Structure 1
Amino acid sequence: MTHVKEIARLLLGEDPSDIGRIYDRLLWAGASVGRSGVATQAIASVDTALWDVRARRAGLPLAKLLGAYRDSVRTYNTSGGYLQAPIDEVKEKAWRSLQDGIGGIKIKVGQPDLKEDLRRLAAVREHLGDDVPPASSSPTCPAWAASRPISRSRRWPTTRTCRWRRTS
């Protein structure tokens, strides 16, 4: 929130129709704090709001303005599926997300023991049922070489445990 407050003053007097120019200006204004993490999140919140303004002015839902050809898309939630979270917490948060209307669940994998990842994936799948497609992603930290999650994922029983996975 702090970075949003820092860049907000740059928006005063700007034409909200100039989304690209405003984006570039905000990107360069935050260059000293980096181009990831909170800086990107702060700019994304402003960028999303500007696109929403454009859609409202056009009298369209934002998705239609951006060229959507579907009326809906399935969403997923990662919240609660982190490596350090106990499996009972992961299952509870996943169930709560489904009750809130989220269509899928993504949990992190990358435990030191592959069997633990498989056990966690299977536990979430069993808890949620076969109609909910759990997904997984591996950490992007430098300690994980690109080959490790890929070689591990080839051994996962995809058809039963995990509908899709991300390895980057």
Structure 2
Amino acid sequence: MIIMEIENVRRALEMISSEDDFGILIPEVRSNIAMARKNPCGPEDVAAVPGRITEFQGRAFACRDPEYGASSHMARFIIALNEHLPARRSALNIKFDESIIGICEDMGLVVSSYDRSREPDSVRDTEGGSIPWGVEEAIRNSESPPDVIYHRGAWGKEPMIVLTGRDAVEVAELAIRILRKYRSLKV
């Protein structure tokens, strides 16, 4: 039996893997694309790519098929997001670049951020606490539900952009639109 979220993530992965230079959006910590079941409670409710998505010869590459429980990071992000925005069940992390933020704003996307240097010690000291705190901050900092959430990093933490959407295919389509605009800036 093929589960809807796994199949949706698989199709999204095929879409981004077929883009010749999607690798230019992949951060040093690598990317992942994930989609949660309705009303997710834990990582077992979120389908993602085991081992993340890497870059090889400019292309996005995953060595395994999506499965539930494959990414605790993406699960924590989507679960926190879903508590406020139940229709948002998917996310993809990409590298941070000011020009990507500008592209997102020019596309009319709602962009919000949070400052990791303002993270309370109690959150920083709690395993798995940073991501939900960041999502909460970004939502609080935005007048409208954010489509894009980013942070500029912190000591030992890579700056990151996370694209959100209703499902993984929608998020992949958004990432490809961003890629095409970003690509034209790099030429």
TM-score > 0.5 by shorter chain: no
Query: Which one scores higher on RCO, CA 8 angstroms, separation ≥ 6?
Result: 2
TM-score normalised to the size of structure 1?
0.24
More strand by share: 2
More helix by share: 1
TM-score normalised to the size of structure 2?
0.22
